[in-house]
Amino acid sequence: MDFTHRLLAAQELNGSLLCVGLDPDLTKLPEGFEPRPRDVLAFNRAIIEVTRDLVCAYKPNLAFYESLGRKGWKTLRRTIDLIPEQIPVILDAKRGDIGNTAALYAKALFEELDADAATVNPLMGTDSLEPFLEHPGRGVFVLCLTSNPGSREFQLSNSLHLQIAKAVREKWRRKNSNVGLVVGATHPKELRDIRAICPDQIILIPGVGAQGGALEETIRAGVSHVGPQMIINASRSIIHAGKGKDFAKAARAAAKSLRQEILTCLRQTKSSKRSTPSSKKS
């Protein structure tokens, strides 16, 4: 089963568009945990156990594991092994380099770590993405407009984000039907423009929660005519929701609340679109 079908199956199974980012901050680990690989693994295990029925995907960011030194890669590998088979794994790696180097990055993410999908940086052009696109059935999320403040410096300059969206639609999805985009929730107006260009691609949306993205506005802008076609990611606001011994309980409560809020906004958006004058018979 390819990434898109695995994702849609997980969304249906758990009634969720929520993706939890497994990005453990060593300075924010709860009481009783030390900043070391084995404790990071134990922390991840607890988060997965209490959210596995609430999510459609998990997204570990490689930086949080690479920073652990030589044991970090093993910690990431074991974290992936803890994720239930029915829940896809998106590795947030933001890779992008010349062909032979990109091929090794793709091999590491898709073959060695067995990720279902990965994020990539398109700045170096099509040849830097092709090694990722050539892995059948694997998802490739192309950075289009990120959620950080600095995204305005270059990504919105000369409408670069729209050029990337057009490349996804016109070129890259022809090589791999599992190509999607990354668009931050901090840019709802631009998200609407990107959705108009890519009407049925899956959009991975970070920036809700700690980064302050407006959820309702984001869902209104990003929903597709063929279904939601969205993944709403949250990391810090969920995994570090609690700092005491009940951190797992706090994480579950935060995930459950956000999942429900997403579904409520989605229902309201669908209802609003059905009731607009243009949708009524004259």
Q: How do residues 61-82 score in pLDDT, each as one tens digit?
A: 999 999 999 999 999 999 999 9
8 Å CB contact between 237 and 215: no
111, two tokens: 């073959």
- Mean pLDDT of the 226-233 span: 96
pLDDT band at 208 (very low <50, low <70, confident <90, very high): confident
Q: In what order do the strands lie in the sheet with 203-205?
A: 57-58, 18-20, 230-234, 203-205, 179-183, 139-145, 117-120, 90-95
Domains of the chain by start residue, with CATH: 3-272 (3.20.20.70)
Q: Name the residues annotated as catalytic.
A: 94
pLDDT digits (tens, 9 = 90+) for 269-279: 988 776 665 54
149, two tokens: 């403040």
